Amino acid sequence: MSAPKKRIAYFYHDEVGNFYYGAGHPMKPHRIRMAHSLILNYGLYKQMEIYRPLLVEDETMTMFHSDDYVHFLQSVTPDNFNDYNRELQRYNMDVDCPVFDGLFKFCQLYTGGSMGGARKLNQGNADICINWAGGLHHAKKSEASGFCYINDIVLAILELLTYHQRVLYIDIDIHHGDGVEEAFYNTDRVMTASFHKYGEYFPGTGGVKDIGVNSGKKYSVNFPLMDGIDDQSYQSIFKPIMKKIMETFQPGAVVLQCGADSLAGDRLGCFNLSLKGHAACVEFMKSFNVPLLVLGGGGYTVRNVARCWANETGVLLDKKLSEEIPYNEYYEYYGPDFNLHITPSNMENHNTKKYMEDTKIELFECLNSLPKPSVQIKQTPHRIDLESKIMDSKESNPDVRITQEMADKMVTDSREFYEDEKDQDKETTKVPMQIST
């Protein structure tokens, strides 16, 4: 008998592609709109529930971030940033993390998709949730970092911890997932696993001996990699390590950050993965049948980012996409061949078999010494409260309240991709359980 078809919720807001970091900046939110266009034109939307994320309020962001930092993000604009010289330095707002028009709303949108996905998983209304706008893994409690301002991943994990005793975070971005690791470095309720370029490379953290502290000791797993890793080498470490982690940690939910800068030919990257090699990680984690939140992340060759995330949406839906890219509003980006898949280069793989095997053995030894997990605690999933924590304050009517059943009806009809203005009702989340960070 075949396994039941997975229920997949997809979060996308039509405004997310409008934001612009500035001339010459490698981070292009436009790539999310390009990926969405491919998802539509491949017909993948027909097999998913499509949700428009609501805007996360500042109060929700302070479940992880400091009050003064969130207030600063709310207040600073390109017109007044000269009045905030001391704060700009304090919060690491510089060339990498510029002040741009609509900055705070951008943070509200991408975080809303990730927290909305976590909530859907907690409620049991989906098996897999996708938010390609999320995955901004470098943001810290009180500072921006690496193009990231609000750490939607940490907030989504805190939401998952209100229902699940243990949550696993996996990062296949080329950069170390330092912001998420740091947030949960001293707890055994969240395990982080990151496969990343290490050495003279941003952010410079994530050595194999960085394993956590106090209660979190051995719950941070880092596999430092060198230039040129290819599909075969990557899978030779990813699959056995993740299989071991799933066996030993036994998470109740998994968050997978799918940064596409680990692909061959990325503008800022130095790995040599194909779309198939990258997607193999997604397919492998899906096979464990654990509630799964799939997020975006890095990726700076925008045509390949769109290819990657559209293809991985297909993988999650068990749908093989045609090699010929369907006509869409960004069709010219994919020339001259207009094919879905990319060809890795002939760059040298500096990750020797001995290095890979030695590092894998060291990580296995650490994982083998983990205590056996306690029985998974089953809690009653909390319901969204009636007072708003996630809302669009300008578009919402503060006197209108919605029930959970009404919120669930916000899924878009297959003939439409966005809700009407009248659907911008308020929604709230219960404050997640705080953990020591």
Active-site residue set: 138
- Nearest of 252, 6, 257, 8 to residue 110 by alpha carbon: 257
As a three-state string, the secondary structure of the chain is CCCCCCCEEEECCCCHHHCCCCCCCCCCCHHHHHHHHHHHHCCHHHHCEEECCCCECHHHHCCCCCHHHHHHHHHCCCCCHHHHHHHHHHCCCCCCCCCCCCHHHHHHHHHHHHHHHHHHHHHCCCCEEEECCCCCCCCECCECECCECCCHHHHHHHHHCCCCCCEEEEECCCCCCHHHHHHCCCCCCEEEEEEEECCCCCCCCCCCCCCCCHHHCCCEEEEEECCCCCHHHHHHHHHHHHHHHHHHHCCCEEEEECCHHHECCCCCCCCCECHHHHHHHHHHHHCCCCCEEEECCCCCCHHHHHHHHHHHHHHHCCCCCCCECCCCCCHHHHCCCCECCCCCCCCCCCCCHHHHHHHHHHHHHHHHCCCCCCCCCCCCCCCCCCCCCECCCCCCCCCCCCCHHHHHCCCCCCCCCCCCHHHCCCECCCCCCCCCC
Calculate the CA 230 to chain-centre distance.
22
Q: How far is CA 48 from CA 11, 152, 176, in A?
A: 10, 22, 31
Name the token pair of 48.
């998913």
Name the token pair of 75.
């207040």
Angle at 295 between CA 270 and CA 5, to 5 degrees: 120
